[in-house]
């Protein structure tokens, strides 16, 4: 190949603006408007690339996204690991190197192209700014958007917005189209919603399979023409055009007109209109002829042609331009499920007209392509030299191997050969491969078509999909309580609970978590501790039917709860499995506030709304999420009453006047507060529910009042230990969606006499009544110092059998208990309650350790401590 | 991405909605009277037709209301949406 720039051509080029390209360490002169591939061809470069599998020398083959050979890494002015050289526009400072089909990410971070996202709503989106697309846009009404993957759209219609260098990467339901725009050095990812989508994506020229068809210098005829018309690059001086159709013939005429010496090799036995025109222009046309081989070391120097009479001649040539027919580019629509039919005259698959009514296919994409002589593979020569897929180095012989192995479907052959699994997604190889399979099986042309196509149409950088880095706040909200600043100042170590940041423990000095948790739990059991429980989910439930509604949502009765009283409740799924738990507080006749788990608040709210809106539409109930309207300061321990009193309150805290599971609306430290006697630790406890605006003030008052008692702030880890000592479950820790109330030993909270509630019917399904269901029990290691890992599997005896072993269950919670001076664990064990007092064996590595099964209420099972 | 017409808010992108499965699947008036098989049928079994069917959606990032819609499962075409308690269109 001896490409050179010629005068009078190059509609995309700005010859007044020279731009220098760095490619594999060489400086190459080009102009603004060039692509890397165009500048390389203009410089006379031949080849310059290698194939990724066999390492064969390769040259530029195409002029667009279908390029299978020429790939570059871009290292400046931004980094991209790999991109077709045909799709990289020259810009100042552009540095590239050749890449063999596979990009390489550098070890250190690199500057990806900045990206942003945009949303567009239009009446008509036209994909493709060629003649057919522009014609469709011109007559469209309303807002019209044209996108085209190339950097130039000629004569854009004035009624349309036109985005160049913009690829529609996928068409989805209801006219939703994603478009990837390269806007200079920035990527823009457009989310377009269009009432009407026009697919004007044109057609891709197809190569032919003949021996030696991968040599540098062999390229698509339309590409040779495009380099001349767009960039003023004549790719060679002696060009053989191997063409089955007038598209290739037209290219030959254009190339000859620019000064190349052109010979056309046409397999058709009879002359057509194009033949006559070419001959009239003085171009040699050999009919009933085929290219059967190429020469060159490695770049093309000669083309061997077999004439009608079988006579072989070798033509001196530096370019062999190939046109084996045209494939309408309907890949984008195929993910919508459109059908294809085979057109025998055009030897290609065309849209059969099916698909959504908002989609129209026009122009060459709709099958308006030249008729083509049906030639796919040239019989002469070795099949192992006839390349089908350049990027995977797969030949006709490889396809034959796959078929000989019993594969008959193009999708299977694709997976056996990797044909079409390339950066160009098989644009040049897909239809050709399917047709070779059809031939090998003795099937008619078009008996099966190419493999399916899925988005994205061309590769999209992850950085473009990700969009701008807008910081953590838009990634996932971080929720904090009003006491966050205080927690920070007191060295809280946080854990994430849903979106919430909750203090896990407050280390002092050089304490580790175990030491801090032991100190925090000891303070609460012996004196007083304070927990920020503001993250508890809270739902305000109002209306004349609020009690009836809650009766149907919880397993126990809430409608008979007295005003100013509190009741614990379990909520089940329709399948009878525990879904969430919390308490209900009755504020007034028609007014409750219910609490949920920290992580379950949104799901419980959703479930309330779903039942009220879809099933019990007659109930007069209104639910409002008030999680962030109420902060909670939980004061617990034997001195809790002294501390709340010391903080200053007008409530009578005496046990008889303010008993367990009731609440009082009163003043605490000058702030209106709902004081609730609830305990999740077994100790005397007051939860102070109040406005978040004043929560820090009340927290401070509690800390000050507690100082004489050594009040200790504690975190979620201590809370977990304290509740486990009491055998209280945490939904999501002891449960995984397969536990009924009875499995948790909580049958006492299921009121089967009150009427129907969600999940009730499921509780008496036969599977729920099995006596070997996994039940919640306590587990104590024989060695009191041994703390099991949560998730540890439990066996009936101490030898580990060959797999599959029959596991009795597993440990759900496990801690070192300061109050008990030993380790404790909760577990779910098959038939566990019958095993209380017996032994199980925990599997730790290759060994087992013996454990005693116990009642889960380890500490103060009589509940003597809750009233102080 | 589907374009869904919320009966309260109008046409919005699918990402604003959560899906609620088969519509018009009434909760039994007296589950206690159902056999285990009948209850399991209500609890677990759903239609899976090719073509038009009625399904539930909730406008989670909008008005947070549940509604019903008819969709063609073969083409993904949204045929119509209607409020709870209303008859399907057409």
pLDDT (tens digit, 9 = 90+) per residue, A56-84?
999 999 999 999 999 999 999 999 999 99
Residue A740, C-beta contacts closer than 8 angstroms, at least 6 positions apart: A572, A576, A577, A578, A763, A768, A773
Chain B residues whose CB is inside 8 A of the A356 CB are: 75, 77
What integer pLDDT is reported at residue A524 of this predicted model? 97
Give the mean pLDDT of A148-174. Answer: 97
Q: Is residue A868 pLDDT above 90, yes or no?
A: no
Q: Cβ of B39 and A609 within 8 Å? A: no
Q: Cβ of A765 and B36 within 8 Å? A: yes
Q: Which of residues 565-584 of A touch B (CB under 8 A)?
A: 574-575
Exposure class string for A319-332: b at 16+ Cβ within 10 A, else e: bbbbbbbbbbbbbb
Q: Cβ of A176 and B58 within 8 Å? A: no
Chain B residues whose CB is inside 8 A of the A766 CB are: 36
CB A549, CB A604: distance < 8 Å: no
Compute chain B's Rg from CA coordinates: 15
Residue A806 half-sphere exposure toward CB, CA atoms < 13 A: 5
Chain A residues whose CB is inside 8 A of the B27 CB are: 615
pLDDT (tens digit, 9 = 90+) per residue, A30-40?
999 999 999 99
Q: Cβ of A614 and B66 within 8 Å? A: yes
pLDDT (tens digit, 9 = 90+) per residue, A714-742?
999 999 999 999 999 999 999 999 999 99
Q: Cβ of A176 and B36 within 8 Å? A: no
What integer pLDDT is reported at residue A473 of this predicted model? 67
What integer pLDDT is reported at residue A108 of this predicted model? 77
Residue A762 sits at the chain B interface (C-beta within 8 Å): yes
Q: Is residue A1 pLDDT above 60, yes or no?
A: no
CB-nearest partner of B85 from A174, A574, A617: A617
Q: Cβ of A756 and B66 within 8 Å? A: no
Q: How far is B48 from chain A (nearest CA, A)?
A: 19
CB-nearest partner of A174 from B3, B31, B34: B3
pLDDT (tens digit, 9 = 90+) per residue, A515-550?
999 999 999 999 999 999 999 999 999 999 999 999
What integer pLDDT is reported at residue A219 of this predicted model? 98
Residue A760 sits at the chain B interface (C-beta within 8 Å): yes
Q: What is the DSSP string of A434-474?
A: HHHHHHHTTPPTTSS-PPP--S-SS---HHHHH-S---HHH
pLDDT (tens digit, 9 = 90+) per residue, A175-200?
999 999 998 889 999 999 999 999 99
* Inter-helix orientation angle A430-440/A410-417, to 10°: 110
Token couple for A328: 């309408």
Indicate the pLDDT class of residue A313, thresholds 50, 70 and 90.
very high
pLDDT (tens digit, 9 = 90+) per residue, A264-290?
999 999 998 899 999 999 999 999 999
Average pLDDT of every residue of chain A: 96
What is the pTM for the complete model shown?
Answer: 0.89
CB B14, CB B54: distance < 8 Å: no
Q: Is residue B54 pLDDT above 70, yes or no?
A: yes
What 3-state class would DSSP assign to A256? helix
Q: Is residue A826 pLDDT above 80, yes or no?
A: yes
Residue A193 sits at the chain B interface (C-beta within 8 Å): yes
Indicate the pLDDT class of residue A574, thresholds 50, 70 and 90.
very high
CB A36, CB A72: distance < 8 Å: yes
Chain B residues whose CB is inside 8 A of the A172 CB are: 1
Q: Cβ of A174 and B2 within 8 Å? A: yes
Helix (H) or strand (E) holding A645: helix A640-647
Work out the angle at residue A760's Cα, subtended by the Cα atoms of residues A759 and A766, and round it to the nearest 5 degrees. 95
d(CA A400, CA A390): 16
Q: Cβ of A193 and B3 within 8 Å? A: yes
Percent of chain A residues topping a pLDDT of 70: 100
Residue A434, C-beta contacts closer than 8 angstroms, at least 6 positions apart: A410, A448, A449, A450, A451
Residue A175 sits at the chain B interface (C-beta within 8 Å): yes
Q: Cβ of A173 and B76 within 8 Å? A: yes
Tell me which of B3, B16, B33, B34 to substitute to probe the interface with A (most A C-beta atoms closer than 10 Å). B3
Taking Cα atoms as reference points, which of A83, A88, A65, A64 lies closest to residue A73?
A: A83
What is the ipTM metric for this complex?
Answer: 0.97
Indicate the pLDDT class of residue A2, thresholds 50, 70 and 90.
confident
Q: Is residue A477 pLDDT above 90, yes or no?
A: no
CB A160, CB A135: distance < 8 Å: no
Q: Is residue A860 pLDDT above 80, yes or no?
A: yes
Q: Is residue A472 pLDDT above 80, yes or no?
A: no
Q: How far is A753 from chain B (nearest CA, A)?
A: 12
């Amino acid at each position: 190949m001896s490409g050179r720039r010629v005068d009078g051509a190059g509609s995309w080029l700005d010859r007044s603006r020279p731009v220098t390209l760095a490619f594999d360490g060489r400086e190459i002169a080009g102009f603004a408007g060039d692509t890397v591939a165009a500048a390389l061809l203009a410089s006379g470069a031949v080849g310059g690339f290698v194939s990724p599998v066999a390492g064969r020398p390769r040259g530029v083959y195409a002029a667009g996204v279908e390029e299978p050979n020429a790939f570059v890494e871009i290292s400046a002015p931004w980094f991209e690991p790999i991109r077709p050289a045909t799709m990289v526009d020259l810009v100042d400072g552009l540095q590239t190197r050749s890449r063999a089909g596979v990009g390489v990410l550098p070890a250190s971070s690199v500057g990806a192209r900045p990206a942003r996202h945009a949303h567009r709503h239009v009446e008509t989106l036209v994909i493709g700014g060629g003649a057919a697309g522009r014609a469709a846009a011109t007559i469209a009404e309303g807002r019209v958007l044209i996108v085209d993957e190339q950097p130039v759209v000629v004569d854009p219609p004035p009624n349309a917005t036109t985005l160049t260098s913009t690829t529609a990467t996928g068409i989805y339901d209801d006219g939703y189209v994603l478009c990837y725009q390269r806007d200079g050095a920035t990527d823009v990812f457009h989310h377009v919603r269009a009432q009407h989508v026009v697919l004007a994506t044109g057609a891709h020229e197809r190569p032919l399979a003949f021996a030696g068809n991968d040599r540098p210098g062999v390229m698509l005829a339309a590409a040779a023409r495009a380099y001349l018309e767009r960039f003023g690059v004549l790719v060679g001086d002696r060009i053989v055009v191997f063409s089955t159709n007038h598209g290739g013939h037209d290219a030959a005429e254009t190339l000859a007109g620019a000064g190349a010496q052109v010979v056309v090799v046409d397999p058709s036995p009879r002359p057509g209109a194009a033949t006559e025109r070419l001959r009239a222009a003085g171009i040699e046309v050999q009919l009933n002829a085929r290219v059967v081989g190429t020469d060159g070391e490695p770049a093309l120097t000669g083309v061997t042609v077999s004439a009608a009479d079988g006579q072989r001649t070798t033509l001196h040539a530096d370019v062999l331009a190939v046109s084996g027919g045209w494939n309408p580019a309907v890949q984008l629509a195929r993910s919508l499920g459109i059908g294809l039919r085979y057109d025998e005259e055009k030897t290609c698959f065309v849209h059969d007209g099916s698909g959504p009514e908002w989609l129209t296919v026009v122009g060459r994409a709709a099958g308006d392509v030249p008729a083509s002589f049906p030639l796919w593979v040239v019989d002469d020569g070795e099949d192992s030299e006839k390349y089908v897929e350049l990027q995977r180095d797969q030949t006709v012989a490889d396809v034959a191997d796959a078929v000989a192995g019993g594969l008959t479907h193009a999708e299977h052959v694709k997976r056996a050969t990797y044909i079409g699994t390339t950066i160009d997604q098989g644009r040049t190889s897909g239809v050709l491969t399917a047709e070779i399979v059809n031939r090998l099986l003795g099937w008619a042309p078009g008996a099966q078509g190419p493999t399916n196509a899925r988005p994205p149409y061309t590769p999209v950088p992850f950085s473009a999909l990700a969009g701008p880095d807008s910081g953590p706040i838009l990634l996932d909200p971080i929720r904090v309580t009003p006491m966050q600043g205080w927690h920070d100042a007191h060295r809280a170590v946080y854990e994430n609970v849903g979106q919430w940041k909750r203090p896990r423990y407050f280390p002092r000095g050089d304490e580790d978590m175990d030491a801090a948790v032991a100190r925090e739990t000891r303070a609460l059991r012996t004196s007083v501790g304070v927990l920020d429980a503001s993250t508890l989910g809270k739902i305000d439930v109002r209306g004349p039917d609020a009690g009836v509604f809650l009766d149907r949502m919880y397993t126990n009765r809430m409608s008979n709860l007295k005003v100013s009283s509190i009741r614990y409740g379990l909520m089940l799924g329709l399948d009878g499995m525990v879904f969430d738990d919390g308490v209900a507080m009755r504020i007034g006749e028609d007014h409750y506030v219910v609490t949920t788990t920290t992580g379950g608040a949104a799901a419980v709210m959703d479930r309330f709304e779903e039942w009220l809106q879809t099933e019990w539409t007659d109930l007069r109930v209104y639910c409002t999420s008030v999680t962030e309207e109420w902060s909670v300061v939980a004061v617990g321990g034997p001195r809790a009453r002294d501390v709340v009193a010391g903080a200053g309150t007008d409530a009578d805290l005496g046990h008889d006047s303010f008993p367990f599971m009731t609440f009082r609306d009163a003043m605490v430290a000058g702030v209106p507060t709902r004081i609730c006697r609830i305990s999740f630790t077994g100790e005397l406890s007051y939860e102070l529910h109040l406005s978040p605006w004043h929560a820090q003030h009340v927290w401070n008052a509690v800390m000050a009042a507690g100082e004489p008692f050594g009040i200790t702030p504690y975190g979620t880890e201590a809370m977990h230990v304290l509740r486990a000592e009491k055998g209280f479950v945490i939904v999501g820790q002891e449960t995984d969606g397969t536990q009924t109330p009875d499995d948790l030993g909580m049958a006492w909270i299921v009121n089967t006499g009150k009427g129907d509630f969600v999940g009730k019917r499921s509780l008496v399904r036969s599977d729920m009544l099995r006596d070997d269901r996994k039940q919640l029990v306590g587990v104590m290691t024989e060695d009191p110092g041994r703390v099991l890992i949560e998730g540890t599997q439990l066996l009936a005896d101490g030898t580990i059998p060959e797999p599959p072993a029959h596991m009795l269950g597993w440990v759900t919670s496990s801690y070192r208990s300061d109050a008990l001076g030993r380790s404790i664990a909760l577990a779910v064990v098959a038939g566990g309650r019958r095993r209380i007092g017996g032994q199980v064996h925990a599997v730790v590595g290759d060994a087992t350790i013996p454990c005693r099964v116990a009642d889960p209420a380890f500490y103060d099972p009589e509940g003597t401590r809750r009233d102080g | 991405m589907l374009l869904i017409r919320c009966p309260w808010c109008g046409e919005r992108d699918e990402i604003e909605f959560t899906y609620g499965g088969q519509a018009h699947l009434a909760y039994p008036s007296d589950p206690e009277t159902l056999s285990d098989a009948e209850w399991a049928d209500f609890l677990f079994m759903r239609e899976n037709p090719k073509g038009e069917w009625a399904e539930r959606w909730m406008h989670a990032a909008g008005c947070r209301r549940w509604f019903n819609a008819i969709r063609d499962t073969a083409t993904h075409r949204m045929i119509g949406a209607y409020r709870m308690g209303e008859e399907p269109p057409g």
